[in-house]
Amino acid sequence: MSRKVVRTSKFRHVFGQAVKADQCYDDIRISQMTWDSNFCSVNPKFVAMIVDASGGGAFMVLPLSKTGRIDMSYPTVCGHTGPVLDIEFCPHNDNIIASGSEDCSVMIWEIPEGGLTSPLTDPVVKLEGHSKRVGILSWHPTAHNVLLSAGCDNVVILWNVARGEAVVRIDSVHTDLIYSACWNRDGSRILTSCKDKTMRVLDPRKGTVLFKNFGEPLTLQELDTSSGVLLPFFDPDTGVVYLCGKGDSSIRYFEVTDEAPYVHYLSMFSSKESQKGMGYMPKRGLEVNKCEIARFYKLHERKCEPIVMTVPRKSDLFQEDLYPDTVGPEPSVEADEWFEGKDAPPNLISLKDGFVATTKAKEFKVHKSLLKTTTASAGNHDNGGVQSLRKEVKDLKEAIEELTKRVKELESKH
C-alpha cells in the first residue's frame, strides 16, 4: 500500500485567531472610498486608518494601547483637501507617516509621542509634483527619507523627503494606470504592475525598464472566483505569503520555497465579516514569546480588529527557527548617498529578548532652506508642541485685544 507523503513544514499548523472584542478599536468610520490600497498602516507604536471625512480627507492615528470604543471627537490628521487614498508609516521612524491624496499631493506628518491631542492640519513637508490623484506610497526599505509615490498621471516619483525634492521622475514608462509599486529587499529595484497587463522591473535611479513580462510563470494557483483585489503580504524571514482579499472575509497563506512547485498552500483564516482594508505589523512589533509570526489589523466598516497568526509550540523558550534576525528600524544609507548610487542591505536585529530599541529613533530633520513649503517645521519640535504654542499665541492676542478694548472704553468715560 502506498501512503501519501505530506510535505514537512514548520508552518503547516499556523493558525489565525481574532483578538477579544475589548482589544479591538471600535466606532471608527472607515473610509468608503473605492480604492485598492490597504487603508491601514501599523508599527510597534501606532495603528493608522483612513477614515470618512466631510470636506477634505483624514486619517486617524491611535496608540496601539488605545483599544475599545474611540470617541467621535478623537482628533484626526486632516490637512488634505481631498480624500486620502494611501498611508504608510516610515520604517525608520515610528512617529513619521506619509499620506497620498486625491488632492494630488503627498504629505509627511510627525505624530507626537502618545498620539494626537488635537487635530493635525500642518504637515512637516508637503510634496507636490503629481498632476492627478496620488494612490500609491512606499518608503525605501533601507535608505533614510526616500519615498516612492505613484499617481493616476501614470508617473512614479522618488522623493528626498528631508529636502522636499522630487529627485527622480519616471513619466515615460507606464502607458496606463499603475496598479501597484514596491521595492526589493535592499531597494535597488522597483517592481510595478500596470493596467496595460505588464509587470516592469525598474532601475529606480535611472528610471529605466530592466525587465518586462516574465514569460511563463513558475507556478499558477487558482484561488477563487471573487473579483476583489488581493492585498499580498510577504514575510522574507519565514517565506510565507499572506493573501487578503479586499471585500473578502478570508486570509489565505502559502509557503514559498526554492523547489517545485514553489508555492505550497498552508491554510486559510476565515471570518464572517468582509475586510475593507488590512494593516500588517512589522516583525519587530510581534510577541515572540507567544510564537506569533504575523499580526494583521483588519478593517471593518466601523472597527479595526487585530488578527494574530501563531505557530503552535509546547516550549516556552525562544524559537530560533521561527525568528531569524529580521529587519530593524535603523537605515543603512542616507538619502543623498542612495541617490548618488550607494546600495546597502537592511540592518538586521535579533528578536531573542523581544525587540528593544537600543538607538534613539532617527530624528526627522528637514532642511528648511531647501524646502518649497512654508508649512515645514524644523524637525526637532514635535507637532503637538508647535500646535499648543500657536494656540497659546492666539489666546494671548485675543486677551490683549479684549484689554485694549476695555482701556479705550474707560478712557472715553473720563
Q: Which of these ranges, 12-16, 75-79, 279-283, has the smallest mean pLDDT?
A: 12-16
Reported pTM? 0.84
Q: Which of these ranges, 139-143, 176-180, 290-294, 375-379, has the smallest mean pLDDT?
A: 375-379
Read off the pLDDT of residues 300-312 as tens digits, 9 standing for 90 and up.
999 999 999 999 9
Read off the pLDDT of residues 284-296 as tens digits, 9 standing for 90 and up.
999 998 899 999 9
Per-residue pLDDT band at 373 (split at 50, 70, 90): very low
Q: Is the peptide bond before 75 cis (omega within 30 degrees of 0)?
A: no
Q: Which of these ranges, 33-37, 85-89, 182-186, has the smallest mean pLDDT?
A: 33-37
Q: What is the pLDDT of residue 115?
A: 95
> Higher pLDDT residue, 403 or 60?
60
List, in sequence order, every residue forming a beta bridge with 77; answer none if it has no partner: 59, 120
> Higher pLDDT residue, 378 or 100?
100
- Asked if the model's pLDDT at residue 78 lies above 70, the reply is yes
- pLDDT, mean over the chain: 88
Q: What is the pLDDT of residue 304?
A: 96
54: Cβ–Cβ under 8 A, 6 or more apart, which residues? none
Q: What is the pLDDT of residue 159?
A: 97
- Asked if the model's pLDDT at residue 410 lies above 90, the reply is no
Question: Could you give the percent of the chain with pLDDT greater than 90?
Answer: 68
What is the rounded distance in angstroms from the CA atom of residue 48 to the CA atom of residue 146? 20
**Amino acid code (one letter) for 380:** N
Per-residue pLDDT band at 13 (split at 50, 70, 90): confident
Q: What is the pLDDT of residue 49?
A: 96
Per-residue pLDDT band at 35 (split at 50, 70, 90): confident
Q: Look up residue 289 and give its three cell numbers.
A: 514569546
Query: How far from 342 is each of 8, 10, 334, 336, 379, CA to CA, in Å?
Result: 40, 37, 9, 9, 25
Per-residue pLDDT band at 369 (split at 50, 70, 90): very low
pLDDT (mean) for 227-248: 90
Read off the pLDDT of residues 121-157 as tens digits, 9 standing for 90 and up.
999 999 999 999 999 999 999 999 999 999 999 999 9
What is the rounded distance in angstroms from the CA atom of residue 368 to the CA atom of residue 377? 8
Q: What is the pLDDT of residue 371?
A: 40
Cell 466606532 sits at which residue?
27
Query: How far from 39 is each of 100, 111, 121, 339, 367, CA to CA, in Å?
Result: 11, 18, 19, 29, 30
pLDDT (mean) for 101-116: 96
